Amino acid sequence: MLSFERCCSLAYKPLGDKSLGSWSLAACLGLLVLAGVSPAQANPAALELPVATGWAHAPKLADAPLAPSPDPAATAVLGPSLSDPAPASGVLTAAPAPGPTAGPAAQPVSPWASTFELYGFLPLRTETGLEIGQRSTSFDVGLGTLLSKLKWASSARGSVEYGRLGLLGDVRYDRLGAINSRTGARGLVGLKTQTSFNATVADLALRYRFGARESARGKAGHFSIIPYAGVRVIDTNFGVTATVNVLRFERQFSRELSHTWVQALLGTQATVFLAPRLRLFGRADVGGYGSGESEKLSGNAQLGLGYALGHNTDLNISWRYQGMDWNNGQSGRNQRGISSDQNGVEIGLKFFF
């Protein structure tokens, strides 16, 4: 191995009629640095060698006294000395890699979950019939007429569950102004009617979930099926104003039909994710029962798509059918009956908690 003393002696060894001089000393010092020897490890006294002239030889380095500190000029060339001993080979050693840090503890999943949805139903077609005594009237109107007669509408549904068992609720209230209809023959005798009504439908049911928890986002293929059973309460109030035209003479009379009834309710709803943000959902239920000649029936059918707007919000668009049929099973002047069929588009904003 090339030592510091050997480099110094070579630096001042005459070559022909000229000495290598101080530039050779600098070159040797560079070789030492590359070899991994710092100026502090070498004999610093060698830095203070006199410049040789002619054929004079450099003094032996072994006889040179040790300097208490390295020469400032050499420090400027070679850089500061290392206080800790360095390996002679000059191999750099890497610091030990830090151990793996423990991540935050996973938060336990709450057994409680809930949903809340605000929705609006836009019936593209509505067919309604009324029977009061021996008279009956009906109307079949589209969305434009219903919107022009709409006085108020509000609807919401929601659910809460613990584990897989939970409750669901759905409430809808509508109030419409007078809608024109006509019964009887035109001409000599004519009957014009105007019907206004308000109706409230409220569902409350116990439910059980199969499959994944309801959420705005999920993996494709994840699904849930939720059957439910409970009660449905329907409250209706119809007002009918009839105008009889006989030989250009008009006579008006009014009738009112109000009724509230409670039905048993049985249904199911299902959801399957087509993509992480897109899901297909459906719902169907039937309520009521028959008793003798009377009927108390109602039903819903719904199919649509939901798209996640965020982590816990869905925009739902669906087709929906709803209908009800009630009569008291009597005849003559005591006969009373209501029938209604609607189908259209439902738009809702659903939140998952």
Residues 6+ apart with CB under 8 A from 168: 157, 158, 159, 203, 204, 205, 207, 228, 230
Predicted pLDDT at 296: 86
Phi–psi pair at 40, nearest 5 degrees? -70, -30
Residues 6+ apart with CB under 8 A from 332: 133, 134
pLDDT over 70 percentage in the chain: 64
Predicted pLDDT at 233: 95
Q: Where are the beta strands (DSSP E) in the chain?
A: 14-15, 18-19, 112-132, 135-142, 150-162, 165-183, 189-208, 210-211, 223-246, 249-273, 278-291, 294-308, 313-327, 336-352
Give the domains, in start order, of the chain with CATH numbers: 4-78 (no CATH), 112-352 (2.40.128.90)
Q: Which of 7-16, 50-59, 168-177 has the highest mean pLDDT?
A: 168-177
Contact in structure between 191 and 243 (CB atoms under 8 Å): yes
Predicted pLDDT at 159: 97
* Residue in the block written with tokens 């759905």: 170
- pLDDT, tens only, 64-79: 444 455 555 444 444 4
Residue 9 gets which letter from DSSP? Answer: H
Separation CA 157–CA 300 (nearest Å): 14
Predicted pLDDT at 36: 52
Separation CA 249–CA 89 (nearest Å): 124
For residue 301, what are the CA distances in angstroms to 11, 203, 280, 339?
Answer: 102, 15, 14, 17
Separation CA 87–CA 266 (nearest Å): 84
Separation CA 129–CA 325 (nearest Å): 9
Q: What pTM, to 2 d.p., does this model score?
A: 0.66
